[in-house]
């Protein structure tokens, strides 16, 4: 299994959703970088931002332009913070030659899942309307129902908070043969523990620190 580490936007103390993050994190040995994407009604364009209040947010055009100059093997995870953005993001990515390097998470629906099955890492809470974190954590029968919906909708990847990975849920996930992406690991020990659980991707705010740890371990061998 190939382990994927995704640098969460603002990982290792960088400014979230900034050119600084894209340029610096692109130099790390991570497989992917994550940015948050919203639609700005005033400017009528896609901007980077986790929250709805924009303060001179970086445009997605500039972000794609910067990322297109990075290592061609790296992926860019666009975490969609609003519905109905996927088509706009995919089209814009194509103009920068990034359509094969794109990952979509966040606010996505079944039709978008079916249209771009290879790009979507489906957020688990978007599968059923009653999918609260608390219910998925405590109700194994409901959690299994959510997973069956994921399979029915053609999900290849499932994106979920790592706190849902208690032993019962983890066993159900592995039985479904879905690729697992989890968020957000806060430090090296959490990254290691999640990889030991057999997940395929860990999104973390300690991406650079993790690779520094691995380099240190190799020097001790």
Domain boundaries along the sequence of the chain: 4-220
Distance (Å, whole) CA 59 – CA 17: 10
Residues of the chain with pLDDT under 70: 1, 53-55
> Which residue, among 146, 155, 203, has the nearest Cα to 177 in the 3D structure?
155
Following CA atoms 168, 169, 174, 176 in sequence, which dihedral angle do they give, to the nearest 10 degrees? Answer: 120
Class in CATH terms, 4-220: alpha beta
Q: Which phi and psi angles does 24 have, rounded to 5°? A: -75, -50
Q: Look at residue 53 in the predicted model and tell me its pLDDT.
A: 63
Q: Rg of the Cα trace of the chain?
A: 17
**Predicted confidence (pLDDT) per residue in 162-171, tens digit:** 999 999 999 9
Could you tell me the pTM of the whole model?
0.97
3-state DSSP: the chain helix, strand, coil percent, rounded to 5?
40, 20, 35
Per-residue pLDDT, 52: 74
What pLDDT digit, counting tens, does each position of 137-194 carry? 999 999 999 999 999 999 999 999 999 999 999 999 999 999 999 999 999 999 999 9
Q: What are phi and psi of 26, to 5 degrees?
A: -65, -20
């Amino acid at each position: 299994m190939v382990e994927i580490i995704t640098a969460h936007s603002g990982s290792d103390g960088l400014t979230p959703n900034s050119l600084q993050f894209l340029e610096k994190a692109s130099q790390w040995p991570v497989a992917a970088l994550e940015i948050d994407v919203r639609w700005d009604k005033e400017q009528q364009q896609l901007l980077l931002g986790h929250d709805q209040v924009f303060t001179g947010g970086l445009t997605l055009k500039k972000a794609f332009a910067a990322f297109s100059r990075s290592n061609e093997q790296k992926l860019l995870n666009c975490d969609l913070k609003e519905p109905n953005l996927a088509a706009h993001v995919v089209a814009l990515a194509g103009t920068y030659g990034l359509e094969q390097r794109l990952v979509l998470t966040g606010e996505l629906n079944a039709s978008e899942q079916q249209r771009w099955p290879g790009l979507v890492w489906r957020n688990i809470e978007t599968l059923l309307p009653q999918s609260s974190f608390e219910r998925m954590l405590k109700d194994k029968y409901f959690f299994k129902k959510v997973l069956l919906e994921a399979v029915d909708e053609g999900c290849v990847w499932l994106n979920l908070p790592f706190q849902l990975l208690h032993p019962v849920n983890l066993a159900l996930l592995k039985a479904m043969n879905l690729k697992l992406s989890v968020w957000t690991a806060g430090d090296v020990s959490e990254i290691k523990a999640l990889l030991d659980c057999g997940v395929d991707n860990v999104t973390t705010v300690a991406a650079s620190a993790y690779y520094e740890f691995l380099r240190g371990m190799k020097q001790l061998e």
